[in-house]
Amino acid sequence: MAIINVTPDSFSDGGRYDGVEAAVAQALACVENGAVILDVGGESTRPGAAEVSAAEEQDRVLPVIEKLAQETDALISIDTYRAETARLAMAARAHIINDVHGLQRDPEIASVAAETGAGLCIMHTGRNRDDRRADLVDDQLYFLRQSLEIARNAKVLEDHIVLDPGFGFAKDRDDDLELIARFAELHQLGFPLLAGTSRKRFIGGVTGREKPSDRDVGTAATTAILRLAGAAIFRVHDVPTNKDALAMADAVLAARRQG
């Protein structure tokens, strides 16, 4: 899953692809390099980023989605927590809804997924919550089970759902490393898992790389580790480097099965 930020202020590449032509060109380059999903977002989720209006978000993402639907057969994901934006993105021929608030900010977004047959990525977050559990994995299970209940009540098909543990979302360096170490415990929820570690702050903390764009090797290391732990989808900025990391991890998994 390639990250396509149509924003001026995203933490890693804000402003590089905030026009339709630049965003589409970057997305198509990612497909050429092996991306299967294009995740288009119009509002930065970095800590402290200013919210944008629904209208501004839609003005950014909808023309990109419309053009990509004409230019590529890759799956298109809309990175939004707003039901209204998700519905318009589906009408523009997106395939997947990726909600960083886990359906819990605008629960109507689950109904959009159910009505349109969209895939649904449900992410864990610790932001703006006063009910967090002390144990990291316990909090994952607690939050994501609530999100899954919202999805079930909206009649989202279970085989349309992917879960994302939300690396970096109100998690510090040690939290993110523990989450990688304990990643396999999340399989008890019974859904495919998405890993979104790309260029995150904890990678800079471990490697000493201050600039997010210098963290692609560290990201690829987490990609290989998490693939071995069973992650199914990888949301990344640098597609070729992470594709190579996945090829190595998959070769190891194949050797395990043969052994």
Mean local confidence (pLDDT), 117-127: 97
pLDDT band at 66 (very low <50, low <70, confident <90, very high): very high
What is the distance between the alpha carbons of residues 210 and 88, in angstroms, rounded to a whole number? 37
Mean local confidence (pLDDT), 74-102: 98
Active-site annotation holds for 235: yes
Mean pLDDT across the chain: 95
Give the pLDDT score at 4.
Answer: 96
pLDDT band at 50 (very low <50, low <70, confident <90, very high): confident
Q: Is residue 192's pLDDT more than 80? A: yes
Q: Is residue 189's pLDDT more than 60? A: yes
Domain 2-258 maps to which CATH number in 3.20.20.20, 3.30.10.20, 3.40.1190.10, 3.10.520.10? Answer: 3.20.20.20
For the entire predicted model, the pTM comes to 0.94
Q: Is residue 13's pLDDT more than 60? A: no
Q: Which of 200, 201, 215, 227 is catalytic?
A: 200
For residues 224 and 245, is the Cβ–Cβ distance under 8 A?
A: yes
Mean local confidence (pLDDT), 180-198: 98
Phi-psi region of 143 (alpha: psi -120 to 50; beta: other; left: phi over 0): alpha
Return the beta strands (E) in the chain as ranges: 2-5, 37-41, 75-79, 96-99, 119-123, 161-164, 194-195, 233-234
Q: Which of 171, 201, 215, 235 is catalytic?
A: 235
pLDDT band at 257 (very low <50, low <70, confident <90, very high): very high
Give the pLDDT score at 19.
Answer: 82
What is the distance between the alpha carbons of residues 211 and 158, in angstroms, rounded to a whole number? 39
Give the pLDDT score at 45.
Answer: 76
Q: Is residue 15's pLDDT more than 60? A: no
For residues 233 and 195, is the Cβ–Cβ distance under 8 A?
A: yes
What is the distance between the alpha carbons of residues 119 and 98, in angstroms, rounded to a whole number? 8
pLDDT band at 44 (very low <50, low <70, confident <90, very high): confident
pLDDT band at 18 (very low <50, low <70, confident <90, very high): low
Supply φ then ψ for residue 133, to 5 degrees: -85, 150
**Pairing of β 2-5 and β 119-123:** unpaired
Q: How far is CA 166 from CA 17, 48, 123, 209, in A?
A: 23, 16, 6, 21
More confident residue, 7 or 48: 7
Q: Which two tokens stand for residue 165?
A: 């543990």
Give the pLDDT score at 194.
Answer: 98
Q: In the chain, what are the domain boundaries?
A: 2-258
The secondary structure of residue 96, as a DSSP letter, is E
For residues 81 and 113, is the Cβ–Cβ distance under 8 A?
A: no
The model's pLDDT over 208-256, given as tens digits with 9 standing for 90+, comes to: 999 999 999 999 999 999 999 999 999 999 999 999 999 999 999 999 9
Percent of the chain with pLDDT over 90: 91
Q: Is residue 11's pLDDT more than 70? A: no
End-to-end alpha-carbon separation of the chain, Å? 30
Give the pLDDT score at 7.
Answer: 85
Give the pLDDT score at 16.
Answer: 60
- Number of other residues whose CB lies within 10 A of the CB of residue 159: 8
Q: Is 211 exposed, middle or buried (0-12, 13-18, 19+ CB in 10 A)?
A: exposed
Instruction: Choose among 97, 102, 9, 88: nearest CA to 51.
Output: 9
